[in-house]
């Protein structure tokens, strides 16, 4: 019997689990060239994010929610560089605009996040204006008589 065949048989007798998801893996997955070390399980990351934010005692419920929404959006959109922040803010405003305009305290929190990004030179006035214009588009139209 060849050495590789014996090693494979030994591997088939063991149960392997994914390092991040803790799910069982087939032998083919273990032996494949694909490295899943950099994969992110969004559900697990969201759970960890919520758990971390729950530890903050001096933060309101809306502040925690906007932080979670932003963290989740940034992770899923793979925003990696400072230069990506303007389009990320615009995308966030488009995606969550309807929810934000229905909850004024949450909308206020989002505007404060944008101000903080502007203070750190990560967001310019044009991008902030674009985001606010997007959000205004989701505001209910006021009837005039």
Q: Name the domain count of the chain.
A: 1
Give domain status of residue 103, yes or no: yes
* In a domain? residue 70: yes
In a domain, 23, yes or no: no
The pLDDT, as a whole number, for residue 119 is 96
Residue in this structure with the two tokens 């995606």, named with its chain if needed: 95
47-87 pLDDT, tens digit per residue, is: 776 777 777 778 888 998 898 899 889 988 888 899 999 99
88 is a domain residue: yes
- The whole-number pLDDT of residue 93 equals 97
Q: Is residue 124 part of a domain?
A: yes
**In a domain? residue 95:** yes
What is the pLDDT at residue 85? 95
In a domain, 97, yes or no: yes
Which residues of the chain register pLDDT less than 50? none
> So what's the pLDDT on residue 144?
66
Domain of residue 75: give its range.
42-138
The whole-number pLDDT of residue 96 equals 97
Helix (H, G, I), strand (E, B) or coil at 94: helix
- Give the three-class secondary structure for 24: strand
Give residue 44's region: left, alpha or beta (phi > 0; psi -120 to 50).
Answer: alpha
């Amino acid at each position: 019997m060849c050495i590789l065949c014996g090693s494979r048989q030994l591997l088939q007798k063991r149960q392997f689990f994914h390092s991040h998801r803790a799910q069982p893996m087939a032998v083919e997955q273990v032996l494949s060239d694909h490295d899943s070390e950099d994969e992110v399980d969004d559900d697990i990351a969201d759970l960890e994010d919520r758990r971390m934010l729950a530890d903050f005692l001096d933060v309101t419920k809306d502040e925690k929610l906007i932080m979670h929404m932003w963290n989740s959006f940034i992770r899923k959109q793979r925003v990696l560089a400072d230069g990506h922040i303007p389009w990320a803010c615009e995308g966030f405003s488009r995606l969550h605009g309807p929810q934000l305009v229905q909850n004024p305290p949450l909308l206020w929190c989002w505007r404060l996040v944008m101000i903080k990004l502007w203070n750190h030179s990560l967001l310019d006035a044009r991008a902030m204006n674009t985001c606010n214009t997007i959000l205004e588009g989701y505001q209910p139209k006021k009837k005039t008589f």
